[in-house]
Structure 1
Amino acid sequence: MLHSAEYSAGKCVCKNIRCRLFPGSCCPHWCGVFFRMYVKHGTPVKMMEAYLTVLIKGICQSDENGSFLIKDYDVRKAYLAGSIKDVVSQFGMETIILYTALMLKKRIIVHHPRIEALLEFTRALPALTWHRKDWSILHPYVHLSDTELEDLQNCPGYIAGFVDPEVSNRSDLFDVYVNLPDSFITVSQSAKEAMAMGKLHKEVGHLIVQSAEDPERSDSQVIKDISIKTKEILANLLALADKCEDSKITLEGLKQHHFPAATENFLFHLAAAEQLLRI
């Protein structure tokens, strides 16, 4: 409730910040500073001035209303807020399914009835493909409404969280379905070919599990281990592309290297995801 002299009566106010330029972890502090400005002045103009100051200078200072410094919020720390070690602890070798789905930019649906558990788990997943640093694929809390589903289906690949168990019946929404309460992962029939596992997947899966289960290794170190392996895979893929016309990979070109079938299949779909495939 607002009790400032600027108001003739108590009022309620709700503030929402949407900005792609700053990590979401800074928003609670930022909202607090802006809210106190609004209570004092009774106008959004002061808030807009403060916002522009942060946008241009990275700082907003006020003895009365508090200070905000964007440099206090390292985006890399925001990326590391989720725990990959917890993900691996729950799913073990099946974590490779999540890794593969993310590498191939597939659609992942995660269900849990508790939103807190849902947010904690989904936030960690993009770190499996750290080289992209793309948290825009994350839609942590989605409802089964036409409007929200339409927005979701306009995305080529995503991680979407649902508390509604009915989402398990919407196979049109996912390539991979994660049931958090029961700790199982399902690959849809339509995605099984692209998601076929082989020797390379087993190798990466063992690396992920071994690193995550090491009590001496932090989450950031586990992510680094996975990222190094990912960069190795991508470097090999780029080397293959460099040998091809227009630096674009073809299925025929891959077949000349006589990879195991599952590896060839994975590299083909990865090339498509990385826009290295000649159509």
Structure 2
Amino acid sequence: MATTETQLMLSVGLIEKDVNGDTLWVWCYPSVGDELREVLLSKCCLTHDGRDFHTFVFGQFSRTWYYITTMEVQEPTALNKVTHFSVVVTAKDFNPEKYAALSRILCRMYVKHGSPVKMMEAYITVLTKGICQSDENGSFLIKDYDVRKAYLAGSVKDVVSQFGMETIILYTALMLKKRIVVHHPRIEALLEFTRVLPALVWHRKDWSILHPYVHLSDAELEDLKKCPGYIAGFVNPEVSNRMDLFDVFVNLPDSTITVSQSAKEAMAMGKLHKDIGQLIVQSAEDAEKSDSQVIKDISVKTKEILANLVALADECEDSKITLEGLKQRHFPPATENFLFHLAAAEQLLRI
């Protein structure tokens, strides 16, 4: 277990803000590419001119997950010229709780020893043994952080409580692998909301579609546009004018969801959507049900739809669906339209 899980970590780095107010990337092990380093510096709150202080942020760039933990240095410590610092861990996997716990231990080590050497030793121990123990700094066990826990850490019930029946728009967009952009001025709110959305399509268990913290920079937008469908979070309200970036736009502070003109045809709603929407709302409003039970209810319905789609495909030549084949079934127009686009998303469509 330890070998595969530990090999998901890619690097550990250190950003410092000194008494003169300068913020610098001061150290990393083993290495971080120039482009990724620039992105990581832009995500670190220490480079944001004394605006909001964020103890922990995470995101994805160029198929690499990053986790940034920031601390203020309280006197007296071995770090006499440093006012704040950030520990940056990069990895191949999505697991915010795991890397937040590890980073907290690394931060405490740095404060105590004033040198990255101890951090590097701890990082290597985790890489090789899946464990990091120190009496005063707490212990860390990789096996305590199952990926399934990370997938289920957010609250689907909160999403449904905010958007009600409109949650079906998010579900449909995710099923059809559309581009969802979410805006909120507070990064914490953005991270909390966006990380839940892939759970609406649990059968895929694919969190690689999540880009929870994106800036409107050329490098990041170029990276985002390589993904066919995604969930992207932005703190900058300017993103609402970037029609080229989304099929569905979620304004979190206003609790509104807008479907772009170009996606309206594929996202047309009918009785099937209404039924699924009601199922989602009823399940989420049931006080007896946990978030994971709500996800299971949605997943059961999704699997039923997919099983019907596969059955339709099996009756067709090459097990691929055609529009003509769908039309012969005389489905209501919105259902036929949804199944056609879903077949395309699930690679069951003959092109």
- TM-score normalized with structure 1 length: 0.90
Superposed, 1:1-150 pairs within 5 Å as 1=73, 3-4=77-78, 10-11=81-82, 13-21=85-93, 23-38=95-110, 44=116, 47-63=119-135, 65-150=137-222
CA shift for structure 1 position 47: 4.1
Q: Report the Cα distance in structure 2 between the residues aligned to 1:35 and 1:90, rounded to whole angstroms.
A: 36
Structure 1 equivalent of residue 246 of structure 2: 174
Q: Is the 8 A contact 2:77 2:114 kept in 1?
A: no
**What root-mean-square deviation, in Å, do the aligned CA atoms of Structure 1 and Structure 2 show?**
2.2
CA shift for structure 1 position 53: 3.8
Q: Deviations over 1:37-65 (max 9, x none)?
A: 55666665654454344344422233354
Q: Is the 8 A contact 2:276 2:301 kept in 1?
A: yes
CA shift for structure 1 position 13: 4.9
Q: Is the 8 A contact 1:3 1:10 kept in 2?
A: no
Structure 2 equivalent of residue 252 of structure 1: 324
Label 1:154 to 1:57 Cα distance change in 2 as closer, same or farther (>3 A): same
Q: Is the 8 A contact 2:213 2:232 kept in 1?
A: yes
Q: Secondary structure at the match of 1:130?
A: helix
Q: What is the aligned counterpart of 1:163 among 219, 222, 235?
A: 235
Q: Deviations over 1:75-127 (max 9, x none)?
A: 22221222111111111111100000000010011112222222222122111
Q: Report the Cα distance in structure 1 between the residues aligned to 2:237 and 2:107, rounded to whole angstroms.
A: 37
Amino acid at match of 2:219: T
- TM-score normalized with structure 2 length: 0.72
Q: Report the Cα distance in structure 2 between the residues aligned to 1:64 and 1:92, rounded to whole angstroms.
A: 46
Q: Is the 8 A contact 1:123 1:140 kept in 2?
A: yes
Label 1:230 to 1:56 Cα distance change in 2 as closer, same or farther (>3 A): farther
Amino acid at match of 1:206: Q
CA shift for structure 1 position 36: 4.4
Amino acid at match of 1:247: S
Structure 1 equivalent of residue 308 of structure 2: 236
Q: Report the Cα distance in structure 2 between the residues aligned to 1:240 and 1:47, rounded to whole angstroms.
A: 56
| Structure with the higher strand share, 1 or 2 | 2
| Structure with the higher helix share, 1 or 2 | 1
Structure 2 unaligned segments of length 5 or more: list them: 1-72
Q: Deviations over 1:136-164 (max 9, x none)?
A: 21111222222222221111111111222
Is the deviation greater in 44-53 or in 255-264? 44-53
Is the deviation greater in 33-42 or in 184-193? 33-42
Q: Report the Cα distance in structure 2 between the residues aligned to 1:42 and 1:104, rounded to whole angstroms.
A: 50
Structure 1 equivalent of residue 297 of structure 2: 225
Is the deviation greater in 54-63 or in 219-228? 54-63
Q: Is the 8 A contact 2:180 2:246 kept in 1?
A: yes
Is the deviation greater in 90-99 or in 247-256? 247-256
CA shift for structure 1 position 32: 2.6
Label 1:29 to 1:190 Cα distance change in 2 as closer, same or farther (>3 A): same
Amino acid at match of 1:58: G
Q: Report the Cα distance in structure 2 between the residues aligned to 1:22 and 1:62, rounded to whole angstroms.
A: 25
Label 1:54 to 1:199 Cα distance change in 2 as closer, same or farther (>3 A): same
Structure 1 unaligned segments of length 5 or more: list them: none
Q: Deviations over 1:183-213 (max 9, x none)?
A: 2211111101110111111110010011111
Q: Does 1 or 2 have the higher relative contact order (CA < 8 Å, sep 6+)?
A: 1
Amino acid at match of 2:322: T
Q: Report the Cα distance in structure 2 between the residues aligned to 1:238 and 1:29, rounded to whole angstroms.
A: 42
- Over the matched positions of the two proteins, sequence identity in percent amounts to 80
Total equivalences in the alignment: 276
Label 1:182 to 1:65 Cα distance change in 2 as closer, same or farther (>3 A): closer
CA shift for structure 1 position 245: 2.2
Q: Is the 8 A contact 2:94 2:207 kept in 1?
A: no
Q: Report the Cα distance in structure 2 between the residues aligned to 1:98 and 1:136, rounded to whole angstroms.
A: 17
Label 1:176 to 1:246 Cα distance change in 2 as closer, same or farther (>3 A): same
Is the deviation greater in 140-149 or in 128-137? 140-149
